[in-house]
Structure formats: structure tokens, C-alpha cells
Amino acid sequence: MKMFITVILTASLFLGFAMPSADVITVKGSDTMVILAQRWAEIYMAKHPGVTIQVTGGGSGVGISALINGTTDICIASRPMKQSEINKLKARFNVLGVEIKTAKDGLSIYVNESSPVREVSIDQLKKIYTGEITNWRDVGGPDAKIIIYGRENSSGTYVYFKDNVLDGADFSPMTQTMPGTAAVVNAVAKDKLGIGYGGAAYGKGIRYANVKKDAKSPAYEPTEENIKNGNYPIARYLYMYTRNRPTGALKSFVDWILSAEGQQVVTKVGYFPVR
Amino acid sequence: MKRLCCTILVVYSLVVHAQEKDTTSASLQEKVTELKEQADGLNEQLLTLTPIVDALKKIKISGYIQSQFQVADADGVGSFAGGNFAAGVHSRYQVRRGRLKVNYDNDLTQFVLQVDATPGGVAIKDAYVSLKEPWTRTFGLTAGVFDRPFGFEISYSSSNREAPERTRMYQTLFPGERDMGAKLEITPPETSPMNWFNFKAGFFTGMGPTAQENDNYKDLIGRAGFLLPMRDAGLEIDGGVSWYLGKVRSNQRAVYKMDGDAKTFAYDSTVANIGSYFDRTYIGADVQLYYEIPVLGGMTVRGEYISGKQPGTGGNSATSNYSSFYNVAGTALYQRNFSGFYVNYVQNVGLSNQFIVKYDEFTPNSDASSNDIGATTPVGKIALTAGDLKFTTLGLGWIYHWDSNVKFTIYYDMVTNDKVNSSAPAVLAAFKDDIKDNVFTARVQYKF
């Protein structure tokens, strides 16, 4: 027993009980949110010169893995954490993670500017993305093959779309996976027969197709009003996750994001505030 | 003349410049076309490679190695902290586990193969097929060799577990953790209002992962569990109840059952015992509480209780390979009622440190007290043995997470046995006091 206590004390003195540095905050995750997080970081750092905030993307899945591995302080995610991910956090840190809803987003459907298709239903989207509908003619477009663009499976947008639009079904093998929402927008902007999905804030240079719940429902644009009142059928929250209840510099940053000033940034970047 | 010369020079230079401009523009155009062709070529290659990469992404390889140094209180002690020490040895190096797991994850179907490769040999730990129905994604079927669906500690991976080993109770009842069989699993999807509930149950050989089947009786093992997250409070309570309804066959007539009044075993030599089945039944309850202590970090308290009827042998109540064991003289079937529990507290401090306190108790024969062991045996009865003795273990430990792959563990097991009757014979004399079998473990683990 004496030996055990001696070893513990020696090792703890040698290694130290390193606590995370309060002045450097790392943020990692969703590509949908990366621009928003960068804007938050820039403005916050300008106001708080003692704080450094490092923001990187990679996808919600990558951010959540980093949170579980202890390599990021904040995970940004465009989908909620799965139970299996919470279980990993429980196994390593004995915590459930703290979920912070930071913004709202209408998951937009992009078509090329020249496309005559103005609206699609959730069912049509499901059929397009599972490969059941392969011709634009079946959704009111020209007689031409639909070229579908999507995201990698590490993306929260991918998971959200799969769970909420495809009802968990697999994407068609013809889906061309893109490394980020900007890449999806870029591909659809260049491809007259393309269709893609992603965050509203990325929708520059292409046109949104309005979305309707089912064939009989009216189609809605992903506007703030439609998203807030629940008319737009594929709206979602954008999240931040921390391992523990935020304290110190981390708490100040999170509080600022939820303040009127932080929420103004949300609007400026093109998403919708939660407060 | 001068003016004419100047004019000619200016005109000439303009013509040459214009030609150069045309040439530059044409070459740029050529370059752009060339690059575009290259990009198109790369894009085509990407389209060909994408399905291959997507298929490869389904193959997940993971593993871990645990290498450790241990010091015991005395030479050659029996131990549940990684196996008995060899005669004359009280310190040792071990590669405790060397796991490599391959998982082909096709969303609704899974192939899993896991081997354990150590200097002691290579053994198959998991080999199973898992299927989930596509309609509600709630019901799943698993067949092969995999963890028995009982309690919490079996399914909590050795790579995540804070204490180096599972409790004495679990190692006695479920050696190797796995068994061969098939199970049904009900896990409502996260969007379901029933997602707080889960259920798994199946039929198994009862022989462990590698032994040949020796009877037609299949053991029913199951667990009904719940998850109660209260995220706003940073609290979650999980738990479940488990059952093991099994039987073992005796291949010889000698069977020993406890005589509760005499506090000894009674010998039953009925010929009908040969080929008869005897109960192996457990019931258990487990609970896990997770809570974040402000500033300090997350903590968990886990507890589990199991009681039931265990078929063992005279000197040992451990589950064994029943197929031939009872044919060996002197190792006939002994039936005991048992009980055991553990409580485990883990406290995270910061990102890298975890402290552990774990207490477990295992009473292999709950119909007798320690004082009955070694007491004078009435005529016609069979004496209790060291296999009936209760043990408790208090473990204290510290884990330092070096990075996301490497962790160091130091852990000290303080093992205490009940003391046998003071008039116990020489074979039990060592248990008149607490035997010197505490073990110190220093372990490093690499996981990927």
C-alpha cells in the first residue's frame, strides 16, 4: 500500500494535473458552421485580445470525435450527438456533454440557376437521392438525367439529410460526394442537371428549390419566417457541444455567442438566430 | 528622314508587340485547355475511385495492447488480477491483452472478427454476424461468438474499463465473457419515444466461446435495460435487470448439494444423476450513474448485484468446460447458491486524470458462513472447501491519459478472504488468516 501511494504521488508530481488552458479555445467540426464559427471567433478575439480561438472544419462527425478524444474544447455540429457518441463520452469522461443550440438553419435544396424546377416534395427528394427517380422529367424538369451531389458521411448535414429526408435509407451509389457544402454549391452552379443540399448560408450563385412536406402541401422557401414558424419542412438547429459545463474563457465565449451581438453574427452569415 | 525612321520603328514595335500578345493569349488558351483536360481526367479517376473508397470505408480496424508489470505480496499467489502467479514468482511482466478487431460495417449488416494475440497464444474473442431489419431499425439479430447479454461489466470493453480486470464474481461466473449462440436485440431508434428502453436476449451453448456443445439444452441469457438522461442537470442513470436460465448435465452419478441445516454438502449418488440436468441460474441488477461535478469533472458510480445457483466443483465454484469435467474422478458437480456485488467510483479530474475506487464481494456459497468452513463435519456429510470461501477486494487506482491513444494505469488490489474455522485441517490452514495476495499493477495501453 505504501508503495502504491508513493508511486501515485511521484507520478502525479512528475506529470502534473494539467488542466486545459483557459485562454486558447479550440473549435472543430461542422463544415456548415465553420464560416459562422470563424466570424464569431474573429469578432470575439478582436474584443478580447487575451483569448485565442482556433477554428477548423472537417465535419460534425470529426468534431464530435475530437470532443471525445479530448482534442477540441468545442465541437460545432449541424446534427445532434448520437447515443453511441454520448456513450463514448461517458466511457472516457463520465459526462454526457453539454448541448448548446446556437442557430437555426433551413437545409436548402440547390439547383442550377437555369433549372426550370421550382419546387420539390420531401418524397421526391427521397426518391431522387435513393436513386428511384433519375430523370428531371419526373419532377417537372427537362428529359435529362439528374446528377446528384451530396456530402461525405462524416458530415452532420449528410446525417441530418439521411435521417430526416431519406428516413434512414441509403444514398444512391450515383451520389457524388463533395468535401464541403461550398463544394456542393460550386458543383451545382456548374452543372445544369445538378441537385445538391446544404446550409442556407452557402446558397450564393445558385437557386433554391422550394420544399413541400408532401404532394398536397404548399412549397416553402428557406426564409427566416418560414423556418421560425415551422413551415419549412427541413429546418434544423446548429449546435455547439462542450464536454463539461463551460467555465472561465470558454463560458464567456459561449455566453457571448448567445448574446444579441453573437446572434447578430448568425444573421449576417445567413443563418437564423435562436434568441 | 528621322521622322520616317521613327514612324517605321514605332509601327514595327507595335506589330511585334501585337503578335507577341496574340502568341501569349493563344498559349494561355492552350494551357487552360490542357489543364481543363487534366482536371476532367482527374475527375473521371475520382468518380472511379469514389465507390472503391466508399467500400473500403466500411472496413473498420481497431485494436489495443495492454502491457503490464505486477508485484504480488507473496510468491505463487492465486490471483484474479491477470491470473495466478507462477510458483516461486511474485513479480512479472505480462502482455495482458493484444486485441485486433476487424469490423465490416454495412449499416444494417455487420461482420465482426476479433482475435487476442499474446505470448500465451492466439484466441478468437469475437466472431459474429449482426443484422438489423430495415423497416423500423429496431430489431436486430446477432449470431456467432460474442459477449453474453448479461449485466454491465461483461460488455464494458477492457480497453475502456478503469480497473485492470473484471471482478472476481464476473470472472468466476462468466470466464472469457463470450459464449456461442444467437440473440435478438430490441433497440428503438433515437427518434422513438421508447428510446430509453433496450432489450437483448438469446440462447447460448453455455460452454464458453470455444468448447464443443455437449448437450441439447441451450441457456437463455438476457437483459432489459433503460437509459434515463437528464441532460440539463448533467445527470444520467442507466440500468437493467439480467437473467441466466441455464442447465448443465452431469456425466457421473456423484452430485453434491448443500445441506442447509448441517452447513455441509450432502452426497447424492443416484444412478439417475448420470445424464441429468442441474440448474445454472442467475438473476442480476445493475445501475450506472453519471454526473458532472462542477470544476472537477465527470464522475460515475456503478453497481451490480448477482445471485443464483452455480454448478461448480469441490474446490472451485468457477464456470468451467462442463463437457468432460465431471467424468474426472474427484471433480463431480457441486451445487451452490451464491451472491456477489461490486460498487465502482470513477472521478475524472481535468482532461487527463481519472481516479478509481472499486469494491467487490463474492460469496460463492451463501448457505454457509466462513466459520462453517473447516468445522467438524457430521458423519455422512461432505466438508466445505476453500471454494466456499468469501472474498472481498478493494481496488484503488489512477489513470493518466497521455493522449487519445495511450493511457497509463497504476492500480492496487487489496484482497481479503474470510477466515475459516480455527479448527480447520491443514489443507485450509492458510485461510485462518488473510492470505498475502494483494497485487500492484502498472499498465500501459495503446489503443487505436
For A91, which residue in chain B has the nearest alpha carbon?
Answer: B160
Segment A213-244, tens digit of pLDDT = 988 889 999 888 888 888 999 988 999 999 99
Kindly report the CATH number assigned to the domain that includes residue B356: 2.40.160.10
pLDDT-based confidence at residue B30 (cuts at 50, 70, 90): confident
Residues in chain A whose beta carbon is closer than 8 A to a beta carbon of chain B?
A: 1, 3-4, 7-8, 11-12, 15, 17-20, 69-71, 82-83, 86, 90-96, 98-99, 153, 163, 168-170, 173, 176-177, 243-245, 247
Residues of chain B contacting residue A177, judged by C-beta atoms under 8 Å apart = 50, 54
Q: What is the mean pLDDT of chain B?
A: 90
Query: Which residue has better confidence, B136 or B288?
Result: B288
The three grid cell numbers given for residue B369, joined into one nine-digit string: 458462513
Residues of chain B contacting residue A8, judged by C-beta atoms under 8 Å apart = 398, 410
Strand partners, B357: B345, B396
What is the percent of chain A where pLDDT is above 70? Answer: 91
Segment A19-35, tens digit of pLDDT = 444 589 999 999 889 99
Residues of chain A contacting residue B346, judged by C-beta atoms under 8 Å apart = 94
Owner of C-alpha cell 482475435: B115
Per-residue pLDDT, averaged over B204-209, amounts to 87
Q: B442 CB near a chain A CB, below 8 Å?
A: yes
Q: B396 CB near a chain A CB, below 8 Å?
A: yes
List the helix and strand counts (H, then E) for chain B. 3, 19
- Average the pLDDT over each of A233-242, A265-274, B48-57, B285-294 and give the range with the smallest value: B48-57
- ipTM, 2 dp: 0.80
The backbone torsions φ and ψ at residue A14, rounded to the nearest 5 degrees and listed phi first, read -70, -50
pLDDT exceeds 90 at position B253? no
Residue B44 lies in a domain: no
Segment A85-131, tens digit of pLDDT = 999 999 999 999 999 999 998 889 999 999 999 999 999 999 999 99
Residue B22 lies in a domain: no
Residue B15 lies in a domain: no
DSSP string, A86-149: HHHHHHHHS---EEEEEEEEE-EEEE-TT----EEEHHHHHHHHHTS--BGGGGTS-SSBPEEE
Q: At what angle do helices A156-164 and A31-47 cross, to 10 degrees?
A: 130
| Number of domains into which chain B is organized | 1
Q: Which of A18, A20, A99 sits opposite B231 (nearest CB)?
A: A99
Residues of chain A contacting residue B442, judged by C-beta atoms under 8 Å apart = 7
Half-sphere exposure of A138 (CA within 13 A, CB side): 13
Measured between alpha carbons, how far is B319 from B323 in angstroms, rounded to an integer?
A: 12
pLDDT-based confidence at residue B107 (cuts at 50, 70, 90): confident
Query: Which residue has better confidence, B45 or B183?
Result: B183
Residue B143 lies in a domain: yes
Q: B81 CB near a chain A CB, below 8 Å?
A: no
Residue B70 lies in a domain: yes
A197-223 burial, b at 16+ Cβ within 10 Å, e below that, comes to bbbbbbbeebbbbbbbbeeeeebbbbb
For A7, which residue in chain B has the nearest alpha carbon?
Answer: B410
Q: How far is CA A29 from the centre of its chain?
A: 8
pLDDT-based confidence at residue A10 (cuts at 50, 70, 90): low
Record: contact B160-A91, CB cut-off 8 A: yes
The radius of gyration of chain A's CA atoms, rounded to the nearest angstrom, is 21
| Structural domains in chain A, sorted by start | 12-105+238-269 (3.40.190.10), 108-233 (3.40.190.10)
Instruction: Determine the pLDDT at residue A20.
Output: 47
For B72, which residue in chain A has the nearest alpha carbon?
Answer: A1
pLDDT exceeds 90 at position B126? yes
Measured between alpha carbons, how far is B258 from B336 in angstroms, rounded to an integer?
A: 7
Interface subset of B 156-185, CB within 8 angstroms of A:
156-157, 160
Count contacts between A and B (CB, < 8 Å).
Answer: 101
Q: Which of B51, B190, B404 sits opposite A173 (nearest CB)?
A: B51
Measured between alpha carbons, how far is B332 from A235 in angstroms, rounded to an integer?
A: 67
Query: Which residue has better confidence, B10 or B285?
Result: B285
Residue B11 lies in a domain: no
Per-residue pLDDT, averaged over A245-256, amounts to 94
A146-155 burial, b at 16+ Cβ within 10 Å, e below that, comes to bbbbbbbebb
Record: contact B229-A96, CB cut-off 8 A: yes
Residue B8 lies in a domain: no
- Where helices occur in B302-377 by DSSP H, the ranges are 322-325
For B348, which residue in chain A has the nearest alpha carbon?
Answer: A93
For B411, which residue in chain A has the nearest alpha carbon?
Answer: A4
> Which of helix, strand or coil describes residue B361?
strand
The backbone torsions φ and ψ at residue B150, rounded to the nearest 5 degrees and listed phi first, read -135, 130
Residue B25 lies in a domain: no
Record: contact A95-B348, CB cut-off 8 A: yes
What is the percent of chain A where pLDDT is above 90? Answer: 64
The three grid cell numbers given for residue A101, joined into one nine-digit string: 443550440
> Which of helix, strand or coil describes residue A180?
coil
Residue numbers of the domain that contains B164: 65-447
Record: contact A95-B195, CB cut-off 8 A: no
Measured between alpha carbons, how far is A231 from B102 in angstroms, rounded to an integer?
A: 45
Question: Among candidates B130, B140, B157, which has minimal Cα distance to B201?
Answer: B140
> Which of helix, strand or coil describes residue B102?
strand
Half-sphere exposure of B160 (CA within 13 A, CB side): 16
